[in-house]
Amino acid sequence: MSNWFERNSLYIGLAAAWTAMLGSLYFSEVLGYIPCTLCWYQRILMYPLAGILAVGLLRRDRGVSFYVLPFSLLGMGFSTYHYLIQKTTIFGGETSCQVGVPCTTVWIDWLGFITIPLLALVAFVIITIMALISLQAPAEVEDIEAHEATPWLAVGGVIGALLIVFGLLAFVNRPAAASSESEPPPVTMLSAEEATDAEAMPADGAGGETSGEADGAALYAASCAGCHGADLTGIAGLGNSLVTSAVVKTYDDETLLLLIRNGRTADDPGHGSSVPMPPNGGNPNLSDAELLAITQYIRSQTQ
């Protein structure tokens, strides 16, 4: 282990904690992604680390790792569990989040595997490793001379923290003028072939000849009901009513399928509510055939 790492491990951990905290606030406050219950647990464990590590470093407290590890290790557990329920069915595909956004909702899916809990997991792992490196670093590597935080340091810290909070609030509440200039996402129509292919394709994993409508109901319950409600009338603050939706009434199947595929960001001109709709309803695994089954289910319930 190089000396450099031993001397700077806690700074790397601090950077990881701040990146994770600001990144998660960017996702929720700027992009409008709604954190699920499991996301909140990870936030509860991550956010204090941004402060604990900073104070530990300022006070040159070699014992800071002992305060960091309980948070980072628990955080690793939550992130791993969250990632597994997003990407696998080993916990039965059901989620522990019955209220609000389903924990299986995938807001981002970069390269097909990088989701928000995975990012959190990476941060928790970095912080844990850095805390462990700092723990085992020989005493002479660091200046461990007892170091009381001087008053100006405390004052500076408080002012800095206030500036950051006010800056963030100002940024988040900035007038939305700029966003209206952004281009609406192009609505490319499915070609006739693709559409018929999709209809002919059996629903993935459905295992045989179940009727499209029955599938649609189950798929709707799993991926959409969390926001649009079991009875399709919507849940305030999460998703609008599909029963009264003009979009559902007027769009044909392909356009509707495409809307669900793409989701809607809050700056989309067609957007009617204050929250975004995640692409695929937050479930990247839904095939065209499954989305069509859902669409048909929605139609069967709204006409």
Q: Is 33 exposed, middle or buried (0-12, 13-18, 19+ CB in 10 A)?
A: buried
Q: Are 20 and 121 in contact (CB under 8 A)?
A: no
Which one among 271, 284, 299, 302 touches ligand HEC, defined by CB under 6 A? 271
The single residue among 45, 76, 224, 293 that binds ligand HEC, judged by CB under 6 A, is: 224
21, two tokens: 């905290």
Tokens describing residue 253: 């199947």
Between the two ends of the chain, the Cα-to-Cα distance in Å is 67
Kindly state the tokens that stand for 25: 């606030």
Q: How far apart are CA 1 and CA 4, in angstroms?
A: 8
Of 50, 65, 48, 56, the residue nearest 14 (C-alpha): 50
Quote the tokens at residue 7: 């001397």
- Among the listed residues 95, 228, 267, 296, the single contact to ligand HEC using CB under 6 A: 228
Residues 157-216, interacting with ligand HEC (CB under 6 A): none
Contact, 261 vs 280, CB < 8 A?
A: yes
Contact characters 95-134, ligand HEC, x per CB under 6 A: ------x---x-----------------------------
Phi and psi of 222, rounded to 5°?
-75, -40
Q: Min. distance of Cβ 180 from ligand HEC in angstroms?
A: 15
Helix H or strand E segment including 219: helix 212-223
The binder of ligand HEC chosen from 13, 75, 229, 239 (CB under 6 A): 239
Minimum distance of ligand HEC from residue 214's CB (angstroms): 16
Q: Cβ closer to ligand HEC: 38 or 294?
A: 294
- Measured from the CB atom, the residue of 7 and 271 that comes closer to ligand HEC is 271
Q: Please work out, in degrees rounded to the nearest 5, the angle formed at the alpha carbon of residue 54 by the alpha carbons of 167 and 140.
A: 150
Please identify which residue in 35, 75, 212, 282 interacts with ligand HEC, judged by CB under 6 A.
Answer: 282
Nearer to ligand HEC, 3 or 300 (CB): 300
Does the footprint of ligand HEC cover residue 217 (CB under 6 A)?
A: no
Q: Which residue among 42, 115, 134, 245 contacts ligand HEC (CB under 6 A)?
A: 245
Half-sphere exposure of 2 (CA within 13 A, CB side): 3
Instruction: Name the one range near ligand HEC by CB under 6 A: 124-132, 167-175, 193-201, 276-284.
Output: 276-284
Among 43, 82, 87, 264, binds ligand HEC (CB under 6 A): 264
Residue whose beta carbon is closest to ligand HEC? 281
193 phi and psi angles, rounded to 5 deg: -60, -50
Interface positions with ligand HEC (CB under 6 A)? 34, 101, 105, 223-224, 226-228, 238-240, 242, 245, 247-248, 256, 259-260, 264, 270-273, 275, 277-278, 281-282, 294
